[in-house]
Protein backbone atom coordinates (compact mmCIF):
# COMPACT_ATOMS: atom_id res chain seq x y z
CA UNK A 1 0.00 0.00 0.00
CA UNK A 2 2.79 2.38 1.00
CA UNK A 3 4.48 1.83 -2.31
CA UNK A 4 1.36 2.49 -4.32
CA UNK A 5 0.69 5.68 -2.37
CA UNK A 6 4.28 6.81 -2.94
CA UNK A 7 4.16 6.08 -6.67
CA UNK A 8 0.84 7.90 -6.97
CA UNK A 9 2.31 10.89 -5.17
CA UNK A 10 5.23 11.05 -7.63
CA UNK A 11 2.83 10.85 -10.56
CA UNK A 12 0.58 13.60 -9.22
CA UNK A 13 3.63 15.77 -8.62
CA UNK A 14 4.84 15.26 -12.18
CA UNK A 15 1.40 16.04 -13.57
CA UNK A 16 1.07 19.21 -11.50
CA UNK A 17 4.53 20.36 -12.57
CA UNK A 18 3.92 19.70 -16.26
CA UNK A 19 0.32 20.86 -16.50
CA UNK A 20 1.09 23.89 -14.29
CA UNK A 21 3.18 25.38 -17.09
CA UNK A 22 0.23 25.56 -19.45
CA UNK A 23 -1.95 27.61 -17.11
CA UNK A 24 -0.13 30.84 -17.84
CA UNK A 25 -1.40 33.70 -15.77
CA UNK A 26 -1.54 37.41 -16.47
CA UNK A 27 -1.00 40.38 -14.23
CA UNK A 28 -3.10 43.52 -14.36
CA UNK A 29 -1.29 46.87 -14.37
CA UNK A 30 -1.60 50.26 -16.13
CA UNK A 31 -5.25 49.43 -16.75
CA UNK A 32 -4.31 46.50 -18.98
CA UNK A 33 -2.82 43.00 -18.95
CA UNK A 34 0.83 42.14 -18.58
CA UNK A 35 2.14 38.93 -20.11
CA UNK A 36 5.73 37.77 -19.85
CA UNK A 37 7.09 34.88 -21.88
CA UNK A 38 10.55 33.45 -21.39
CA UNK A 39 12.31 30.43 -22.86
CA UNK A 40 10.55 28.16 -20.36
CA UNK A 41 7.11 29.32 -21.48
CA UNK A 42 6.36 31.48 -18.47
CA UNK A 43 8.83 32.35 -15.78
CA UNK A 44 6.62 33.43 -12.92
CA UNK A 45 9.54 34.84 -10.94
CA UNK A 46 10.61 37.18 -13.75
CA UNK A 47 6.97 38.06 -14.47
CA UNK A 48 6.34 38.95 -10.84
CA UNK A 49 9.45 41.14 -10.69
CA UNK A 50 8.36 42.95 -13.84
CA UNK A 51 4.83 43.36 -12.51
CA UNK A 52 6.08 44.86 -9.25
CA UNK A 53 8.30 47.35 -11.09
CA UNK A 54 5.49 48.39 -13.45
CA UNK A 55 3.03 48.63 -10.56
CA UNK A 56 5.48 50.98 -8.85
CA UNK A 57 5.64 53.20 -11.95
CA UNK A 58 1.86 53.22 -12.23
CA UNK A 59 1.51 54.46 -8.68
CA UNK A 60 3.73 57.42 -9.58
CA UNK A 61 2.56 58.43 -13.05
CA UNK A 62 -1.07 57.35 -13.45
CA UNK A 63 -3.47 60.29 -13.18
CA UNK A 64 -6.17 58.00 -11.76
CA UNK A 65 -4.16 56.50 -8.88
CA UNK A 66 -4.63 58.40 -5.61
CA UNK A 67 -1.60 60.43 -4.49
CA UNK A 68 0.38 59.75 -7.68
CA UNK A 69 2.48 62.64 -8.99
CA UNK A 70 -0.05 63.37 -11.73
CA UNK A 71 -3.11 62.99 -9.54
CA UNK A 72 -1.67 65.57 -7.12
CA UNK A 73 -0.54 67.86 -9.95
CA UNK A 74 -3.87 67.68 -11.80
CA UNK A 75 -5.91 68.70 -8.79
CA UNK A 76 -3.44 71.38 -7.65
CA UNK A 77 -4.26 75.08 -7.89
CA UNK A 78 -2.22 77.35 -10.15
CA UNK A 79 1.11 78.74 -8.93
CA UNK A 80 1.52 75.94 -6.40
CA UNK A 81 4.77 74.01 -6.84
CA UNK A 82 4.01 70.28 -6.75
CA UNK A 83 6.85 67.93 -5.83
CA UNK A 84 7.34 65.17 -8.36
CA UNK A 85 9.67 62.20 -8.83
CA UNK A 86 12.57 61.86 -11.28
CA UNK A 87 10.39 59.52 -13.35
CA UNK A 88 7.74 62.21 -13.85
CA UNK A 89 10.42 64.78 -14.74
CA UNK A 90 11.95 62.40 -17.29
CA UNK A 91 8.53 61.67 -18.81
CA UNK A 92 7.84 65.41 -19.04
CA UNK A 93 11.19 65.91 -20.79
CA UNK A 94 10.54 63.15 -23.34
CA UNK A 95 6.97 64.42 -23.84
CA UNK A 96 8.11 67.99 -24.45
CA UNK A 97 10.64 66.76 -27.02
CA UNK A 98 7.95 64.72 -28.80
CA UNK A 99 5.50 67.64 -28.51
CA UNK A 100 7.92 69.82 -30.47
CA UNK A 101 9.03 67.10 -32.92
CA UNK A 102 5.41 66.26 -33.78
CA UNK A 103 4.25 69.87 -34.20
CA UNK A 104 2.15 69.41 -31.02
CA UNK A 105 0.31 66.32 -32.36
CA UNK A 106 1.64 64.51 -29.30
CA UNK A 107 0.39 66.50 -26.33
CA UNK A 108 -0.11 65.20 -22.77
CA UNK A 109 -1.78 68.54 -21.86
CA UNK A 110 -4.87 67.63 -23.95
CA UNK A 111 -6.09 65.62 -20.94
CA UNK A 112 -8.90 68.08 -19.93
CA UNK A 113 -10.42 67.59 -23.42
CA UNK A 114 -9.95 63.78 -23.21
CA UNK A 115 -11.84 63.89 -19.92
CA UNK A 116 -14.60 65.99 -21.51
CA UNK A 117 -15.01 63.26 -24.13
CA UNK A 118 -15.23 60.74 -21.28
CA UNK A 119 -12.28 58.69 -22.51
CA UNK A 120 -10.25 58.87 -19.30
CA UNK A 121 -9.90 55.62 -17.40
CA UNK A 122 -12.14 56.66 -14.51
CA UNK A 123 -15.20 57.77 -16.42
CA UNK A 124 -15.28 55.78 -19.66
CA UNK A 125 -18.70 54.13 -19.64
CA UNK A 126 -20.47 52.74 -22.68
CA UNK A 127 -22.79 49.99 -21.46
CA UNK A 128 -26.44 50.92 -21.15
CA UNK A 129 -25.86 54.51 -22.26
CA UNK A 130 -26.51 56.47 -25.39
CA UNK A 131 -23.24 58.33 -25.13
CA UNK A 132 -23.20 61.66 -26.93
CA UNK A 133 -20.10 63.52 -28.08
CA UNK A 134 -19.48 66.84 -26.27
CA UNK A 135 -20.58 70.21 -27.68
CA UNK A 136 -18.07 72.12 -29.83
CA UNK A 137 -18.31 75.17 -27.54
CA UNK A 138 -17.33 73.06 -24.53
CA UNK A 139 -14.35 71.64 -26.44
CA UNK A 140 -13.22 75.09 -27.58
CA UNK A 141 -13.44 76.39 -24.01
CA UNK A 142 -10.81 73.87 -22.90
CA UNK A 143 -8.43 73.87 -25.88
CA UNK A 144 -6.32 76.78 -24.53
CA UNK A 145 -5.16 74.43 -21.72
CA UNK A 146 -3.41 72.15 -24.23
CA UNK A 147 -0.29 74.33 -24.18
CA UNK A 148 2.36 72.06 -22.73
CA UNK A 149 5.17 74.62 -22.69
CA UNK A 150 3.28 77.53 -21.15
CA UNK A 151 0.79 75.86 -18.83
CA UNK A 152 3.47 74.01 -16.87
CA UNK A 153 6.66 75.36 -15.35
CA UNK A 154 9.15 72.62 -14.57
CA UNK A 155 11.91 73.11 -12.02
CA UNK A 156 14.38 70.26 -12.59
CA UNK A 157 16.61 71.36 -9.68
CA UNK A 158 13.93 71.42 -7.00
CA UNK A 159 11.94 68.66 -8.75
CA UNK A 160 8.64 70.48 -8.94
CA UNK A 161 6.01 71.26 -11.56
CA UNK A 162 3.87 74.41 -11.25
CA UNK A 163 0.66 74.95 -13.22
CA UNK A 164 -0.16 78.36 -14.68
CA UNK A 165 -3.88 77.59 -14.77
CA UNK A 166 -5.78 75.58 -12.16
CA UNK A 167 -7.70 73.70 -14.88
CA UNK A 168 -4.57 72.49 -16.70
CA UNK A 169 -3.94 68.74 -16.45
CA UNK A 170 -1.39 66.20 -17.69
CA UNK A 171 -1.69 62.56 -18.73
CA UNK A 172 1.33 60.54 -19.84
CA UNK A 173 -0.92 57.70 -21.00
CA UNK A 174 0.49 57.80 -24.55
CA UNK A 175 4.09 57.39 -23.40
CA UNK A 176 4.05 55.83 -19.91
CA UNK A 177 3.63 52.17 -20.91
CA UNK A 178 6.46 52.35 -23.42
CA UNK A 179 8.67 54.24 -20.97
CA UNK A 180 8.09 51.64 -18.26
CA UNK A 181 8.89 48.72 -20.60
CA UNK A 182 12.19 50.39 -21.43
CA UNK A 183 13.23 50.27 -17.77
CA UNK A 184 13.05 46.48 -17.47
CA UNK A 185 16.52 45.63 -18.78
CA UNK A 186 17.96 45.12 -15.26
CA UNK A 187 15.22 42.70 -14.19
CA UNK A 188 15.30 40.66 -17.39
CA UNK A 189 19.12 40.45 -17.52
CA UNK A 190 20.31 37.94 -20.11
CA UNK A 191 17.05 35.95 -20.19
CA UNK A 192 15.40 35.55 -23.56
CA UNK A 193 12.00 37.10 -22.98
CA UNK A 194 9.17 39.06 -24.50
CA UNK A 195 7.01 41.39 -22.40
CA UNK A 196 3.54 42.39 -23.59
CA UNK A 197 1.88 45.24 -21.72
CA UNK A 198 -1.50 45.57 -23.42
CA UNK A 199 0.00 45.67 -26.93
CA UNK A 200 3.13 47.64 -26.00
CA UNK A 201 5.71 44.90 -26.52
CA UNK A 202 9.46 44.66 -25.95
CA UNK A 203 11.78 41.73 -26.74
CA UNK A 204 15.01 40.87 -24.96
CA UNK A 205 18.00 38.74 -26.05
CA UNK A 206 16.20 37.04 -28.95
CA UNK A 207 14.33 37.81 -32.16
CA UNK A 208 10.57 37.29 -31.86
CA UNK A 209 7.70 37.10 -34.35
CA UNK A 210 5.10 39.72 -33.53
CA UNK A 211 1.69 40.18 -35.12
CA UNK A 212 -0.27 43.37 -35.68
CA UNK A 213 -3.92 43.11 -34.74
CA UNK A 214 -6.47 43.50 -37.55
CA UNK A 215 -8.13 46.87 -36.94
CA UNK A 216 -11.38 45.67 -38.49
CA UNK A 217 -13.32 42.42 -38.50
CA UNK A 218 -11.81 40.88 -41.61
CA UNK A 219 -10.63 37.36 -42.39
CA UNK A 220 -7.93 37.01 -39.75
CA UNK A 221 -7.48 38.53 -36.32
CA UNK A 222 -3.88 39.28 -37.28
CA UNK A 223 -3.26 41.85 -40.05
CA UNK A 224 0.36 40.85 -40.57
CA UNK A 225 3.54 39.82 -38.82
CA UNK A 226 7.22 40.78 -38.68
CA UNK A 227 10.41 40.08 -36.75
CA UNK A 228 10.92 42.09 -33.59
CA UNK A 229 14.67 42.10 -33.03
CA UNK A 230 16.26 41.88 -29.61
CA UNK A 231 16.02 45.20 -27.79
CA UNK A 232 13.27 46.52 -30.03
CA UNK A 233 9.81 47.51 -28.91
CA UNK A 234 6.50 48.06 -30.69
CA UNK A 235 3.57 50.29 -29.88
CA UNK A 236 0.28 50.38 -31.77
CA UNK A 237 -2.30 53.17 -31.74
CA UNK A 238 -5.69 52.31 -33.21
CA UNK A 239 -9.20 53.70 -33.41
CA UNK A 240 -10.62 50.31 -32.41
CA UNK A 241 -9.12 50.19 -28.94
CA UNK A 242 -11.45 52.54 -27.04
CA UNK A 243 -14.46 54.07 -28.75
CA UNK A 244 -18.19 54.57 -28.79
CA UNK A 245 -20.73 55.11 -31.54
CA UNK A 246 -23.39 57.78 -31.76
CA UNK A 247 -25.72 58.23 -34.75
CA UNK A 248 -23.60 55.73 -36.70
CA UNK A 249 -20.36 57.69 -36.16
CA UNK A 250 -17.41 56.13 -34.34
CA UNK A 251 -15.76 58.38 -31.76
CA UNK A 252 -12.40 56.96 -30.68
CA UNK A 253 -10.01 57.92 -27.89
CA UNK A 254 -7.09 59.47 -29.79
CA UNK A 255 -7.87 63.18 -29.61
CA UNK A 256 -6.28 65.58 -32.11
CA UNK A 257 -5.02 68.47 -29.94
CA UNK A 258 -5.50 70.95 -32.80
CA UNK A 259 -9.26 70.28 -33.05
CA UNK A 260 -10.13 68.69 -29.71
CA UNK A 261 -11.88 65.89 -31.63
CA UNK A 262 -10.92 62.28 -32.41
CA UNK A 263 -8.10 62.32 -34.98
CA UNK A 264 -9.53 61.79 -38.43
CA UNK A 265 -6.79 61.72 -41.06
CA UNK A 266 -7.67 58.38 -42.65
CA UNK A 267 -5.45 56.24 -40.43
CA UNK A 268 -7.03 53.47 -38.34
CA UNK A 269 -3.87 51.82 -36.96
CA UNK A 270 -0.22 52.81 -36.56
CA UNK A 271 2.49 50.47 -35.30
CA UNK A 272 5.93 51.92 -34.57
CA UNK A 273 8.92 49.62 -34.11
CA UNK A 274 12.41 50.60 -32.96
CA UNK A 275 15.29 49.72 -30.67
CA UNK A 276 17.05 53.03 -31.11
CA UNK A 277 16.11 56.64 -31.70
CA UNK A 278 18.01 58.63 -34.31
CA UNK A 279 20.34 55.64 -34.54
CA UNK A 280 21.22 55.81 -30.83
CA UNK A 281 20.27 52.92 -28.55
CA UNK A 282 18.90 53.98 -25.18
CA UNK A 283 16.54 52.76 -22.50
CA UNK A 284 14.02 55.41 -23.42
CA UNK A 285 13.57 54.30 -27.03
CA UNK A 286 10.41 52.36 -26.03
CA UNK A 287 8.97 55.61 -24.63
CA UNK A 288 9.59 57.40 -27.94
CA UNK A 289 8.11 54.45 -29.87
CA UNK A 290 4.94 54.78 -27.77
CA UNK A 291 4.71 58.54 -28.28
CA UNK A 292 5.45 58.36 -32.03
CA UNK A 293 2.56 55.93 -32.66
CA UNK A 294 0.08 58.45 -31.24
CA UNK A 295 1.79 61.33 -33.08
CA UNK A 296 1.58 59.61 -36.47
CA UNK A 297 -2.05 58.65 -35.91
CA UNK A 298 -2.89 62.32 -35.30
CA UNK A 299 -0.65 63.73 -38.05
CA UNK A 300 -1.96 61.52 -40.88
CA UNK A 301 -0.10 59.87 -43.75
CA UNK A 302 2.22 62.54 -45.19
CA UNK A 303 3.35 64.34 -42.04
CA UNK A 304 3.33 61.05 -40.13
CA UNK A 305 5.72 59.34 -42.55
CA UNK A 306 7.89 62.47 -42.51
CA UNK A 307 8.17 62.17 -38.71
CA UNK A 308 8.91 58.43 -38.96
CA UNK A 309 11.73 59.09 -41.41
CA UNK A 310 13.09 62.03 -39.42
CA UNK A 311 13.39 59.99 -36.23
CA UNK A 312 14.49 56.83 -38.05
CA UNK A 313 12.00 54.24 -36.81
CA UNK A 314 10.10 51.43 -38.57
CA UNK A 315 6.33 51.48 -39.00
CA UNK A 316 3.21 49.82 -40.36
CA UNK A 317 0.37 52.25 -41.07
CA UNK A 318 -3.10 50.90 -41.88
CA UNK A 319 -5.64 53.19 -43.56
CA UNK A 320 -9.44 53.13 -43.40
CA UNK A 321 -9.67 51.24 -46.74
CA UNK A 322 -7.32 48.61 -45.19
CA UNK A 323 -4.48 49.54 -47.54
CA UNK A 324 -1.18 49.95 -45.72
CA UNK A 325 2.32 51.39 -45.78
CA UNK A 326 5.47 49.79 -44.39
CA UNK A 327 8.24 52.21 -43.43
CA UNK A 328 11.88 51.31 -42.81
CA UNK A 329 13.66 47.98 -43.01
CA UNK A 330 10.86 45.70 -41.81
CA UNK A 331 10.21 42.10 -42.94
CA UNK A 332 6.44 42.61 -42.73
CA UNK A 333 4.22 39.82 -44.10
CA UNK A 334 0.53 40.50 -44.67
CA UNK A 335 -1.67 37.64 -43.45
Partner 1 sequence: MKNEKVKNIFKTLFKKGDLLLVFILILAVALTVYLSHTNNANDVCIYINGSLKYTYSINSDITVDLSNDGIDMQIVISNGKVYVAHSDCKEQLCVHQTPITKDGGSIVCLPNRVVIRVENRDIDAIS
Count of other CB atoms within 10 angstroms of residue 277: 20
> Residue 195: left if φ>0, alpha if ψ -120 to 50, beta else—which one?
beta
- CA dist 214 and 70 (Å) reads 33
Which residues within the stretch 81-110 sit at the binding site for partner 1 (CB under 8 A)?
A: none
Which of 71, 120, 171, 196: binder of partner 1 (CB under 8 A)? 196
CB 109 within 8 A of CB 168: yes
Closer CB to partner 1, residue 119 or residue 152?
A: 119
Closer CB to partner 1, residue 51 or residue 111?
A: 51
Does the footprint of partner 1 cover residue 249 (CB under 8 A)? no
Closer CB to partner 1, residue 88 or residue 200?
A: 200
Closer CB to partner 1, residue 14 or residue 153?
A: 14
- CA dist 311 and 274 (Å) reads 10
- If 0-12 CB within 10 Å is exposed, 13-18 middle and 19+ buried, where does residue 259 land? middle
CB 197 within 8 A of CB 36: no
Does the footprint of partner 1 cover residue 19 (CB under 8 A)? yes
Which residues within the stretch 197-236 sit at the binding site for partner 1 (CB under 8 A)?
A: 198-201, 203, 208-217, 219-222, 225, 228, 234-236
Which residues within the stretch 20-59 sit at the binding site for partner 1 (CB under 8 A)?
A: 22-28, 31-33, 35, 37
CA-to-CA dists, residue 110 to 138, 142, 148, 149, 233, angstroms = 14, 9, 9, 12, 25
Tell me, by CB under 8 A, how many residues bind partner 1.
59
Contact set with partner 1 (CB under 8 A): 2-3, 6-7, 10-11, 14-15, 18-19, 22-28, 31-33, 35, 37, 124-127, 194, 196, 198-201, 203, 208-217, 219-222, 225, 228, 234-236, 240-244, 271, 335
Amino acid sequence: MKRIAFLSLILILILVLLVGCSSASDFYVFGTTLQVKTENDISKKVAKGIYEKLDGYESIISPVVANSDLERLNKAEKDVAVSVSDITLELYKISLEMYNLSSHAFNPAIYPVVKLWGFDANTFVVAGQSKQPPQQADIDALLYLADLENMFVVDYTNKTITKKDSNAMLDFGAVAKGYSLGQLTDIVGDKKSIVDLGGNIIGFNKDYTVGIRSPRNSGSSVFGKFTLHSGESISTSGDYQRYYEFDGVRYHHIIDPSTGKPADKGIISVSIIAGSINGVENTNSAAYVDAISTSVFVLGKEKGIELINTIGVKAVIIYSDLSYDVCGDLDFIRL
